[in-house]
Protein backbone atom coordinates (compact mmCIF):
# COMPACT_ATOMS: atom_id res chain seq x y z
CA UNK A 1 0.00 0.00 0.00
CA UNK A 2 1.39 3.40 -0.94
CA UNK A 3 1.38 6.37 1.41
CA UNK A 4 -1.04 9.20 0.75
CA UNK A 5 0.71 12.47 -0.12
CA UNK A 6 1.10 14.83 2.81
CA UNK A 7 -1.54 17.42 3.52
CA UNK A 8 -4.53 15.66 1.94
CA UNK A 9 -7.72 16.87 3.58
CA UNK A 10 -9.67 13.68 4.31
CA UNK A 11 -12.97 15.53 4.24
CA UNK A 12 -12.30 16.22 0.57
CA UNK A 13 -12.02 12.54 -0.18
CA UNK A 14 -15.59 11.52 0.48
CA UNK A 15 -16.69 11.65 -3.11
CA UNK A 16 -17.86 9.34 -5.79
CA UNK A 17 -16.99 9.86 -9.47
CA UNK A 18 -20.64 10.47 -10.29
CA UNK A 19 -20.93 13.26 -7.74
CA UNK A 20 -19.97 16.78 -8.73
CA UNK A 21 -16.43 17.02 -7.32
CA UNK A 22 -14.10 18.00 -10.11
CA UNK A 23 -10.98 16.46 -8.56
CA UNK A 24 -10.21 13.01 -9.92
CA UNK A 25 -7.17 12.94 -7.64
CA UNK A 26 -9.37 13.29 -4.56
CA UNK A 27 -11.44 10.39 -5.85
CA UNK A 28 -8.36 8.20 -6.27
CA UNK A 29 -7.06 9.17 -2.82
CA UNK A 30 -10.45 8.21 -1.39
CA UNK A 31 -10.32 4.82 -3.08
CA UNK A 32 -6.81 4.16 -1.73
CA UNK A 33 -7.85 5.34 1.75
CA UNK A 34 -10.80 2.92 1.67
CA UNK A 35 -13.33 5.74 1.91
CA UNK A 36 -14.76 5.14 -1.56
CA UNK A 37 -15.85 1.75 -2.91
CA UNK A 38 -15.33 2.88 -6.50
CA UNK A 39 -12.54 1.14 -8.44
CA UNK A 40 -9.43 2.66 -9.95
CA UNK A 41 -7.32 1.06 -12.68
CA UNK A 42 -4.18 1.48 -10.57
CA UNK A 43 -3.84 2.51 -6.93
CA UNK A 44 -0.31 3.82 -7.63
CA UNK A 45 -2.04 6.78 -9.27
CA UNK A 46 -2.43 8.12 -5.72
CA UNK A 47 1.34 8.55 -5.43
CA UNK A 48 3.29 11.53 -6.71
CA UNK A 49 4.36 10.90 -10.31
CA UNK A 50 8.00 11.51 -9.29
CA UNK A 51 7.91 8.00 -7.84
CA UNK A 52 7.88 6.79 -11.45
CA UNK A 53 9.93 9.40 -13.32
CA UNK A 54 13.17 7.43 -13.14
CA UNK A 55 11.55 4.31 -14.58
CA UNK A 56 10.96 3.79 -18.30
CA UNK A 57 7.26 3.67 -19.11
CA UNK A 58 4.14 5.76 -19.07
CA UNK A 59 3.49 5.25 -15.38
CA UNK A 60 0.58 3.79 -13.43
CA UNK A 61 -2.69 3.47 -15.26
CA UNK A 62 -1.10 2.92 -18.68
CA UNK A 63 -2.19 0.02 -20.81
CA UNK A 64 -0.16 -3.14 -21.34
CA UNK A 65 -0.21 -2.30 -25.05
CA UNK A 66 1.70 0.94 -24.51
CA UNK A 67 5.41 0.54 -25.22
CA UNK A 68 7.46 3.65 -24.57
CA UNK A 69 10.10 4.26 -27.27
CA UNK A 70 13.77 4.05 -26.40
CA UNK A 71 15.03 7.57 -25.97
CA UNK A 72 11.71 9.02 -24.79
CA UNK A 73 12.42 12.05 -22.60
CA UNK A 74 12.88 11.34 -18.88
CA UNK A 75 12.32 13.80 -16.09
CA UNK A 76 15.08 14.41 -13.56
CA UNK A 77 14.22 14.25 -9.89
CA UNK A 78 11.89 16.97 -8.69
CA UNK A 79 13.41 18.78 -5.68
CA UNK A 80 12.16 17.46 -2.34
CA UNK A 81 10.53 20.74 -1.33
CA UNK A 82 8.00 20.22 -4.15
CA UNK A 83 7.60 16.48 -3.64
CA UNK A 84 6.88 16.93 0.04
CA UNK A 85 4.66 20.02 -0.12
CA UNK A 86 0.96 19.71 0.62
CA UNK A 87 -1.73 20.45 -1.97
CA UNK A 88 -2.53 23.68 -0.12
CA UNK A 89 1.11 24.81 -0.04
CA UNK A 90 1.63 24.06 -3.72
CA UNK A 91 -1.52 25.97 -4.60
CA UNK A 92 -0.24 29.00 -2.68
CA UNK A 93 3.24 28.80 -4.23
CA UNK A 94 1.90 28.51 -7.78
CA UNK A 95 -0.44 31.43 -7.19
CA UNK A 96 2.37 33.56 -5.78
CA UNK A 97 4.77 32.72 -8.61
CA UNK A 98 2.13 33.53 -11.22
CA UNK A 99 1.42 36.84 -9.52
CA UNK A 100 5.13 37.71 -9.52
CA UNK A 101 5.55 36.76 -13.17
CA UNK A 102 2.37 38.53 -14.26
CA UNK A 103 1.90 38.59 -18.02
CA UNK A 104 5.48 37.37 -18.58
CA UNK A 105 4.03 33.84 -18.37
CA UNK A 106 0.93 32.15 -19.73
CA UNK A 107 -0.19 28.80 -18.29
CA UNK A 108 -2.14 26.48 -20.60
CA UNK A 109 -4.18 23.59 -19.21
CA UNK A 110 -5.46 20.73 -21.34
CA UNK A 111 -9.03 19.49 -20.74
CA UNK A 112 -7.57 16.20 -19.46
CA UNK A 113 -5.36 17.74 -16.79
CA UNK A 114 -5.91 17.33 -13.08
CA UNK A 115 -8.24 19.89 -11.54
CA UNK A 116 -5.45 21.00 -9.18
CA UNK A 117 -3.44 22.09 -12.25
CA UNK A 118 -6.28 23.38 -14.43
CA UNK A 119 -7.31 25.77 -11.67
CA UNK A 120 -4.11 27.75 -12.38
CA UNK A 121 -4.48 27.78 -16.15
CA UNK A 122 -5.02 31.03 -18.01
CA UNK A 123 -6.57 29.00 -20.83
CA UNK A 124 -8.20 25.57 -20.77
CA UNK A 125 -8.88 23.70 -24.00
CA UNK A 126 -7.80 21.03 -26.42
CA UNK A 127 -4.26 20.97 -27.78
CA UNK A 128 -4.86 23.14 -30.82
CA UNK A 129 -7.06 25.65 -29.00
CA UNK A 130 -4.30 26.04 -26.44
CA UNK A 131 -1.51 26.48 -28.98
CA UNK A 132 -3.61 29.20 -30.59
CA UNK A 133 -4.41 30.76 -27.22
CA UNK A 134 -0.69 31.21 -26.67
CA UNK A 135 -0.59 33.31 -29.85
CA UNK A 136 -2.88 35.84 -28.18
CA UNK A 137 -0.20 36.45 -25.52
CA UNK A 138 2.71 38.00 -27.47
CA UNK A 139 4.06 39.62 -24.31
CA UNK A 140 4.57 36.24 -22.61
CA UNK A 141 8.22 35.21 -22.40
CA UNK A 142 7.25 31.72 -21.32
CA UNK A 143 4.37 29.41 -22.20
CA UNK A 144 3.91 26.69 -19.59
CA UNK A 145 2.00 23.90 -21.33
CA UNK A 146 0.24 21.61 -18.88
CA UNK A 147 -0.41 18.83 -21.35
CA UNK A 148 1.78 16.27 -23.09
CA UNK A 149 4.94 16.46 -25.20
CA UNK A 150 3.43 16.77 -28.71
CA UNK A 151 1.25 19.64 -27.49
CA UNK A 152 4.26 21.58 -26.23
CA UNK A 153 5.95 20.95 -29.58
CA UNK A 154 2.92 22.34 -31.42
CA UNK A 155 2.95 25.43 -29.20
CA UNK A 156 6.64 25.87 -30.01
CA UNK A 157 5.87 25.61 -33.74
CA UNK A 158 3.27 28.36 -33.48
CA UNK A 159 4.97 30.67 -30.98
CA UNK A 160 7.70 33.24 -31.54
CA UNK A 161 11.30 31.96 -31.40
CA UNK A 162 12.02 34.04 -28.30
CA UNK A 163 9.08 32.54 -26.37
CA UNK A 164 10.08 29.51 -24.28
CA UNK A 165 7.57 26.65 -24.26
CA UNK A 166 7.88 24.66 -21.05
CA UNK A 167 6.53 21.17 -20.33
CA UNK A 168 6.47 20.88 -16.51
CA UNK A 169 7.28 17.14 -16.54
CA UNK A 170 9.31 15.79 -19.48
CA UNK A 171 7.90 12.31 -18.82
CA UNK A 172 4.48 13.52 -19.96
CA UNK A 173 4.45 11.94 -23.40
CA UNK A 174 1.50 10.46 -25.27
CA UNK A 175 1.41 6.73 -25.92
CA UNK A 176 -0.70 7.24 -29.05
CA UNK A 177 1.68 9.79 -30.56
CA UNK A 178 4.58 7.45 -29.79
CA UNK A 179 2.93 4.67 -31.84
CA UNK A 180 4.06 6.35 -35.09
CA UNK A 181 7.80 7.05 -35.06
CA UNK A 182 9.43 8.94 -37.90
CA UNK A 183 11.53 5.90 -38.84
CA UNK A 184 8.44 3.68 -39.07
CA UNK A 185 6.56 6.24 -41.15
CA UNK A 186 9.51 6.74 -43.53
CA UNK A 187 9.77 2.97 -43.91
CA UNK A 188 6.02 2.69 -44.64
CA UNK A 189 6.32 5.46 -47.25
CA UNK A 190 9.10 3.58 -49.05
CA UNK A 191 7.03 0.38 -49.12
CA UNK A 192 4.01 2.25 -50.46
CA UNK A 193 6.18 3.72 -53.24
CA UNK A 194 7.05 0.18 -54.31
CA UNK A 195 3.33 -0.59 -54.68
CA UNK A 196 2.00 2.66 -56.14
CA UNK A 197 5.05 4.01 -57.98
CA UNK A 198 6.44 7.54 -57.47
CA UNK A 199 4.30 9.06 -54.72
CA UNK A 200 4.66 12.62 -55.96
CA UNK A 201 3.48 11.83 -59.52
CA UNK A 202 -0.10 12.87 -60.27
CA UNK A 203 -2.27 10.75 -62.60
CA UNK A 204 -4.45 11.96 -65.47
CA UNK A 205 -7.00 13.26 -62.96
CA UNK A 206 -4.35 15.28 -61.14
CA UNK A 207 -4.35 12.94 -58.13
CA UNK A 208 -1.21 11.60 -56.46
CA UNK A 209 -1.27 8.00 -55.15
CA UNK A 210 -1.26 8.83 -51.42
CA UNK A 211 -1.78 11.90 -49.25
CA UNK A 212 -0.37 11.52 -45.70
CA UNK A 213 -2.66 12.85 -42.98
CA UNK A 214 -1.58 13.01 -39.38
CA UNK A 215 -3.70 13.62 -36.33
CA UNK A 216 -2.59 16.54 -34.18
CA UNK A 217 -1.60 13.88 -31.62
CA UNK A 218 1.72 13.13 -33.28
CA UNK A 219 5.29 14.29 -32.90
CA UNK A 220 6.63 17.37 -34.68
CA UNK A 221 8.81 15.01 -36.74
CA UNK A 222 5.66 13.34 -38.11
CA UNK A 223 4.02 16.70 -38.83
CA UNK A 224 7.22 17.66 -40.65
CA UNK A 225 7.09 14.43 -42.69
CA UNK A 226 3.51 15.20 -43.68
CA UNK A 227 4.43 18.76 -44.64
CA UNK A 228 7.29 17.53 -46.85
CA UNK A 229 5.06 15.04 -48.67
CA UNK A 230 2.06 17.18 -49.62
CA UNK A 231 0.06 16.18 -46.55
CA UNK A 232 -1.86 17.82 -43.79
CA UNK A 233 -2.64 17.74 -40.05
CA UNK A 234 -6.14 17.21 -38.63
CA UNK A 235 -7.84 17.49 -35.27
CA UNK A 236 -10.79 15.48 -34.00
CA UNK A 237 -12.96 18.53 -34.81
CA UNK A 238 -11.97 18.92 -38.46
CA UNK A 239 -11.00 15.37 -39.52
CA UNK A 240 -13.81 15.16 -42.08
CA UNK A 241 -12.92 18.47 -43.75
CA UNK A 242 -9.27 17.44 -43.83
CA UNK A 243 -10.06 14.07 -45.42
CA UNK A 244 -12.15 15.89 -48.06
CA UNK A 245 -9.13 18.13 -48.71
CA UNK A 246 -6.93 15.05 -49.07
CA UNK A 247 -9.33 13.16 -51.37
CA UNK A 248 -9.38 16.19 -53.67
CA UNK A 249 -5.63 15.74 -54.11
CA UNK A 250 -4.95 12.04 -53.81
CA UNK A 251 -6.31 8.57 -54.65
CA UNK A 252 -6.01 7.52 -51.05
CA UNK A 253 -4.95 8.65 -47.60
CA UNK A 254 -2.37 7.28 -45.20
CA UNK A 255 -3.84 8.22 -41.81
CA UNK A 256 -1.86 8.13 -38.58
CA UNK A 257 -1.45 7.53 -35.71
CA UNK A 258 -5.06 6.92 -34.56
CA UNK A 259 -6.81 4.16 -36.48
CA UNK A 260 -10.11 4.86 -34.70
CA UNK A 261 -10.40 8.53 -35.62
CA UNK A 262 -9.45 7.61 -39.20
CA UNK A 263 -11.92 4.74 -39.43
CA UNK A 264 -14.81 6.53 -37.73
CA UNK A 265 -14.37 9.63 -39.88
CA UNK A 266 -13.95 7.80 -43.19
CA UNK A 267 -16.87 5.48 -42.43
CA UNK A 268 -19.13 8.47 -41.78
CA UNK A 269 -18.05 9.79 -45.19
CA UNK A 270 -19.16 6.54 -46.86
CA UNK A 271 -15.78 4.84 -47.31
CA UNK A 272 -16.37 1.05 -47.10
CA UNK A 273 -14.51 -0.77 -44.32
CA UNK A 274 -12.92 -3.13 -46.85
CA UNK A 275 -11.20 -0.12 -48.39
CA UNK A 276 -9.53 0.75 -45.08
CA UNK A 277 -6.68 -1.73 -44.60
CA UNK A 278 -4.50 -1.48 -41.51
CA UNK A 279 -0.80 -0.66 -41.47
CA UNK A 280 1.00 -2.35 -38.61
CA UNK A 281 4.58 -1.01 -38.73
CA UNK A 282 5.96 -4.22 -37.24
CA UNK A 283 4.82 -6.33 -40.20
CA UNK A 284 5.86 -6.43 -43.87
CA UNK A 285 3.50 -4.29 -45.95
CA UNK A 286 1.89 -3.32 -42.67
CA UNK A 287 0.34 -6.79 -42.41
CA UNK A 288 -2.03 -6.09 -45.34
CA UNK A 289 -2.24 -7.85 -48.69
CA UNK A 290 -0.87 -5.89 -51.65
CA UNK A 291 -4.25 -6.17 -53.42
CA UNK A 292 -6.00 -4.62 -50.42
CA UNK A 293 -3.52 -1.77 -50.37
CA UNK A 294 -4.12 -1.31 -54.12
CA UNK A 295 -7.87 -0.87 -53.52
CA UNK A 296 -7.44 1.20 -50.38
CA UNK A 297 -9.03 4.59 -49.89
CA UNK A 298 -7.71 5.05 -46.35
CA UNK A 299 -4.71 3.16 -44.96
CA UNK A 300 -5.08 3.18 -41.18
CA UNK A 301 -1.98 3.22 -38.99
CA UNK A 302 -2.13 0.71 -36.15
CA UNK A 303 -2.31 3.29 -33.37
CA UNK A 304 -4.84 3.99 -30.64
CA UNK A 305 -5.45 5.94 -27.47
CA UNK A 306 -5.35 3.69 -24.43
CA UNK A 307 -7.77 5.98 -22.60
CA UNK A 308 -10.47 5.92 -25.28
CA UNK A 309 -9.92 2.24 -26.04
CA UNK A 310 -11.29 1.44 -22.58
CA UNK A 311 -14.85 2.36 -23.60
CA UNK A 312 -17.08 -0.54 -24.63
CA UNK A 313 -20.49 -1.28 -26.10
CA UNK A 314 -21.35 -3.13 -22.87
CA UNK A 315 -20.76 0.05 -20.86
CA UNK A 316 -23.22 1.85 -23.14
CA UNK A 317 -25.78 -0.94 -22.69
CA UNK A 318 -25.38 -0.71 -18.91
CA UNK A 319 -25.77 3.08 -18.97
CA UNK A 320 -28.94 2.77 -21.04
CA UNK A 321 -30.35 0.08 -18.73
CA UNK A 322 -29.60 2.04 -15.55
CA UNK A 323 -30.50 5.47 -16.92
CA UNK A 324 -33.41 5.30 -19.37
CA UNK A 325 -33.23 8.29 -21.69
CA UNK A 326 -29.49 8.78 -21.12
CA UNK A 327 -27.67 10.70 -23.86
CA UNK A 328 -24.43 8.91 -24.74
CA UNK A 329 -21.66 11.01 -26.30
CA UNK A 330 -18.24 9.54 -27.04
CA UNK A 331 -14.98 10.81 -28.49
CA UNK A 332 -14.10 9.62 -32.03
CA UNK A 333 -10.87 8.08 -30.68
CA UNK A 334 -13.16 5.34 -29.31
CA UNK A 335 -13.46 2.08 -31.29
CA UNK A 336 -15.98 2.06 -34.15
CA UNK A 337 -18.47 -0.25 -32.38
CA UNK A 338 -18.59 2.19 -29.44
CA UNK A 339 -19.11 5.19 -31.71
CA UNK A 340 -21.85 3.30 -33.56
CA UNK A 341 -23.61 2.39 -30.29
CA UNK A 342 -23.45 5.95 -28.92
CA UNK A 343 -26.00 8.65 -29.66
CA UNK A 344 -23.32 11.10 -30.76
CA UNK A 345 -19.57 11.24 -31.26
CA UNK A 346 -17.43 14.35 -31.24
CA UNK A 347 -14.30 16.08 -30.04
CA UNK A 348 -13.81 17.33 -26.50
CA UNK A 349 -15.03 20.70 -27.71
CA UNK A 350 -18.13 19.09 -29.22
CA UNK A 351 -18.88 17.27 -25.95
CA UNK A 352 -18.43 20.43 -23.89
CA UNK A 353 -20.68 22.46 -26.19
CA UNK A 354 -23.35 19.74 -26.36
CA UNK A 355 -23.66 19.75 -22.58
CA UNK A 356 -23.59 23.55 -22.38
CA UNK A 357 -26.39 23.73 -24.97
CA UNK A 358 -28.75 21.32 -23.15
CA UNK A 359 -31.60 23.46 -21.81
CA UNK A 360 -33.46 20.70 -19.90
CA UNK A 361 -31.94 18.62 -17.07
CA UNK A 362 -30.37 15.67 -18.90
CA UNK A 363 -28.44 12.54 -18.02
CA UNK A 364 -25.22 12.33 -20.02
CA UNK A 365 -22.92 9.30 -20.22
CA UNK A 366 -19.62 10.51 -21.64
CA UNK A 367 -16.88 8.48 -23.28
CA UNK A 368 -13.76 10.54 -22.83
CA UNK A 369 -11.03 11.20 -20.26
CA UNK A 370 -12.36 11.35 -16.74
CA UNK A 371 -10.83 14.68 -15.68
CA UNK A 372 -12.92 16.46 -18.30
CA UNK A 373 -16.04 14.46 -17.41
CA UNK A 374 -15.71 15.22 -13.70
CA UNK A 375 -15.15 18.92 -14.42
CA UNK A 376 -18.25 19.07 -16.62
CA UNK A 377 -20.25 17.28 -13.91
CA UNK A 378 -19.16 19.91 -11.38
CA UNK A 379 -19.78 22.76 -13.80
CA UNK A 380 -23.30 21.66 -14.78
CA UNK A 381 -24.97 20.33 -11.60
CA UNK A 382 -28.40 20.67 -13.25
CA UNK A 383 -27.46 17.61 -15.35
CA UNK A 384 -26.35 14.16 -14.30
CA UNK A 385 -23.04 13.64 -16.06
CA UNK A 386 -20.91 10.55 -15.62
CA UNK A 387 -18.07 8.73 -17.32
CA UNK A 388 -19.14 5.61 -19.25
CA UNK A 389 -16.25 3.69 -17.72
CA UNK A 390 -17.06 3.06 -14.03
CA UNK A 391 -13.36 2.55 -13.25
CA UNK A 392 -11.48 5.75 -12.38
CA UNK A 393 -8.58 5.75 -14.84
CA UNK A 394 -7.16 9.10 -15.98
CA UNK A 395 -4.76 9.47 -18.89
CA UNK A 396 -1.54 8.14 -17.38
CA UNK A 397 0.65 10.66 -19.19
CA UNK A 398 -1.46 13.75 -18.50
CA UNK A 399 -1.32 12.59 -14.89
CA UNK A 400 2.45 13.14 -14.87
CA UNK A 401 1.85 16.90 -14.63
CA UNK A 402 1.42 17.33 -10.90
CA UNK A 403 1.07 20.73 -9.17
CA UNK A 404 4.55 20.09 -7.73
CA UNK A 405 6.05 20.31 -11.23
CA UNK A 406 4.02 23.39 -12.07
CA UNK A 407 5.24 25.12 -8.89
CA UNK A 408 8.84 24.12 -9.72
CA UNK A 409 8.90 25.46 -13.31
CA UNK A 410 7.17 28.70 -12.28
CA UNK A 411 9.50 29.35 -9.33
CA UNK A 412 12.48 28.63 -11.60
CA UNK A 413 11.14 31.30 -13.97
CA UNK A 414 10.84 33.72 -11.04
CA UNK A 415 14.51 32.98 -10.32
CA UNK A 416 15.36 33.74 -13.97
CA UNK A 417 15.89 30.13 -15.06
CA UNK A 418 14.04 28.30 -17.84
CA UNK A 419 13.76 24.55 -17.22
CA UNK A 420 12.14 21.83 -19.35
CA UNK A 421 12.08 23.92 -22.52
CA UNK A 422 10.69 22.12 -25.59
CA UNK A 423 12.25 23.22 -28.88
CA UNK A 424 11.54 21.87 -32.35
CA UNK A 425 14.60 22.10 -34.69
CA UNK A 426 14.18 24.36 -37.71
CA UNK A 427 14.47 21.62 -40.34
CA UNK A 428 11.50 19.86 -38.72
CA UNK A 429 9.59 22.99 -37.77
CA UNK A 430 9.41 24.52 -41.25
CA UNK A 431 7.61 21.63 -43.01
CA UNK A 432 5.52 20.96 -39.88
CA UNK A 433 4.22 24.54 -40.08
CA UNK A 434 3.36 23.96 -43.75
CA UNK A 435 1.20 20.97 -42.74
CA UNK A 436 -0.49 23.02 -40.00
CA UNK A 437 -1.08 25.93 -42.39
CA UNK A 438 -2.74 23.56 -44.86
CA UNK A 439 -5.07 22.44 -42.08
CA UNK A 440 -6.01 26.01 -41.23
CA UNK A 441 -6.71 26.72 -44.91
CA UNK A 442 -8.81 23.54 -45.22
CA UNK A 443 -10.88 24.24 -42.11
CA UNK A 444 -14.53 24.80 -43.03
S1 LIG B 1 -5.78 10.80 -23.73
FE2 LIG B 1 -4.86 9.38 -25.25
S3 LIG B 1 -4.29 10.67 -27.00
FE4 LIG B 1 -4.66 12.05 -25.22
S5 LIG B 1 -2.62 12.34 -24.29
FE6 LIG B 1 -3.61 10.61 -23.22
S7 LIG B 1 -2.87 8.78 -24.37
FE8 LIG B 1 -2.46 10.57 -25.66
Say yes or no: CB of residue 176 within 6 Å of ligand 1.
yes
Is the pLDDT score of 55 beyond 90?
no
CA 123 to ligand 1 centroid distance, Å: 19
Q: Under 8 Å CB-to-CB from 243, ≥6 apart: which residues?
A: 213, 234, 253, 255, 265, 266, 269, 298
**8 A C-beta contact, residue 220 and residue 127:** no
Nearest-angstrom CA–CA distance, 141 and 130: 16
Question: Per residue in 199-210, pLDDT tens?
Answer: 999 999 999 999
Q: Is the pTM of this model over 0.85?
A: yes
Cα angle for residues 315, 317, 319 (degrees, 5° grid): 70
pLDDT of residue 60: 87
Helix (H, G, I), strand (E, B) or coil at 285: helix
| Ligand 1 touching residue 401 (CB < 6 A) | no
Asked if residues 394 and 416 have their Cβ atoms less than 8 Å apart, the reply is no
Strand partners, 254: 212, 299
| pLDDT tens digit sequence for 304-350 | 999 999 999 999 999 999 999 999 999 999 999 999 999 999 999 99
Q: Is the C-beta atom of 397 inside 6 A of ligand 1? A: yes
Kindly indicate the confidence band of residue 72, based on its pLDDT and cuts at 50, 70 and 90.
Answer: confident
Binding residues for iminosuccinate: 110, 127, 215-217, 236, 331-333, 348
Third-level CATH fold of 308-387: Rossmann fold (3.40.50)
Poorest-confidence range of 17-21, 226-230, 309-313, 395-399?
Answer: 17-21
Do you find a cis peptide bond into 133, omega within 30 degrees of 0?
Answer: no
CATH 3.40.50.10800 fits domain 178-301: yes
Residue 379 predicted with pLDDT over 70: yes
Per-residue pLDDT, 21: 78
pLDDT in the model for residue 131: 82
Distance 217 CA to ligand 1 centre (A): 8
Q: Class assignment of domain 77-173+397-424?
A: alpha beta
Average pLDDT over residues 408-419: 98
How would you list the strands of the sheet with 298-301, edge to edge?
A: 232-234, 208-215, 250-256, 298-301, 278-279
**Which residue has a Cα nearest atom 8 of ligand 1?**
174
The pLDDT tens digits for 96-109 are: 999 999 999 999 99
pLDDT tens-digit profile of 139-151? 999 999 999 999 9
152 C-beta closer than 6 A to ligand 1: no
Q: What residue ranges of the chain are covered by domains with CATH 3.40.50.10800?
A: 77-173+397-424, 178-301, 308-387
Separation of CA 59 and ligand 1 centre (Å): 13
Amino acid sequence: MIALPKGIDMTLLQIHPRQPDASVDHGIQAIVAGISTTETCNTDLAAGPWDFDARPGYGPGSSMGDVIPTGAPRQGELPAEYREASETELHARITAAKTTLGDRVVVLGHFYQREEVVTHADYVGDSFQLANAALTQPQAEAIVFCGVHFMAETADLLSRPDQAVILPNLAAGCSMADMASIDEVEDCWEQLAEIYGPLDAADADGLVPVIPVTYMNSSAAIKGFVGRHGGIVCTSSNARAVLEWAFARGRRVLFFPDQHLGRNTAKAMGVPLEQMPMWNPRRPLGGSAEADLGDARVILWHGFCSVHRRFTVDQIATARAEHPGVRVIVHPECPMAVVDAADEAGSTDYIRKAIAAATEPTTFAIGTEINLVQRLAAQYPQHEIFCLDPVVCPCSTMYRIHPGYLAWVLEELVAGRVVNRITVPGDVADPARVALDRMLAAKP
